[in-house]
Amino acid sequence: MRKIEGKSSALGRRKQVSSAGFTLIELMVVVVLILLIALISFPFVMGQIRRAQVQGAADQTVGLIQKTRLQAIRVNQDQDITASSTEITGAGLVSLQELSIELWTDNRCYDLDGDGTADYQKDTMSFDPQGKASAKTAFCVHDSKGNIFQIAVDSLQGTPRIRKFLQPGDSPTGSAGFFLDGWAWY
C-alpha cells in the first residue's frame, strides 16, 4: 500500500510542476502583441518628439527675448533681436540649424486676422531701456512635419507669448473644424 501512495503522490507532484508557467505559444502571442502596439505607436511618438523640439526652440526664443529685454534695462540702452534662417540672436543665441528647425516666413505668421495687413513686424525686435518693445513683433519657427509656433511680443508690455498654428492633425478627431487653420495661445 505504501508503494501505491508513493506513486500517486509523485504523479500529483508532476502534474503540479508541469502545469506551472507559460507555453511557448502563449509567450509568442504576448511578444507579437507588444510588437504590434510598438509599431502602431511609433509614428505618434516620433511626431510628439518633433513637436517637442519645435516647442523647445520656441521656449528658448522666449528665454532669449526675456534675457535681451533685461539686458536693455540693465545697460540702459536699446537692445535688438534679429532672426535669420539659421539662428535668432540677441543677448544670446538660439541655433535653429542644430535643431533642424527653420523660421516660418509665411504671411500668416504676421497677419493673424487674415485681413491682408501685417499685425506684427518681422525679422527684428528692439527693446528700449524701459523694457518696452518698439513694435509688435513676431518670430515663427517650424519643422518639416508642419508643427508651427509663433513667438509674439506686445509692444507695451514687452513680454513674449507663444501661439501654435492649429492644423487638421491637431484636432482630436483629425478633421477640420472651426478652430483649425488659426492660432491658439500655447
Give the mean model confidence (pLDDT) for residues 13-40.
Answer: 82
User: If you average pLDDT over every residue of the chain, what do you get?
Assistant: 80
Considering the entire predicted model, what is its pTM? 0.69
Give the chain's domain count: 1
Residue 167 lies in a domain: yes
Is the residue at 35 inside a domain?
Answer: yes
What pLDDT digit, counting tens, does each position of 154-171 carry?
A: 777 778 888 888 876 665
Q: What domain range is 91 assigned to?
A: 25-185
Instruction: Assess whether pLDDT exceeds 90 at residue 178.
Output: no
Sorted by sequence, the CB contacts under 8 Å of residue 6 that are 6+ apart come out as: none
Residue 8 falls inside a structural domain: no
Report residue 71's pLDDT band, with 50, 70 and 90 as the boundaries: very high
Cell digits of residue 73: 534695462
At residue 19, the pLDDT reads: 63
Confidence at residue 115, expressed as pLDDT on a 0 to 100 scale = 84
Q: How confident is the model at residue 46 (pLDDT cuts 50, 70, 90)?
A: confident
Residue 109 near residue 91, CB atoms below 8 Å? no
On whether residue 66 sits in a domain, the answer given is yes
> Domain for residue 55, yes or no?
yes
Q: Mean pLDDT check: name the lowest of 26-40, 42-56, 80-94, 170-184.
A: 170-184
Which whole number is the average pLDDT over 24-44? Answer: 92
In a domain, 12, yes or no: no
Residue 136 within a domain? yes
Within a domain: 19: no
Q: What is the CATH number of the domain that holds 147?
A: 3.55.40.10
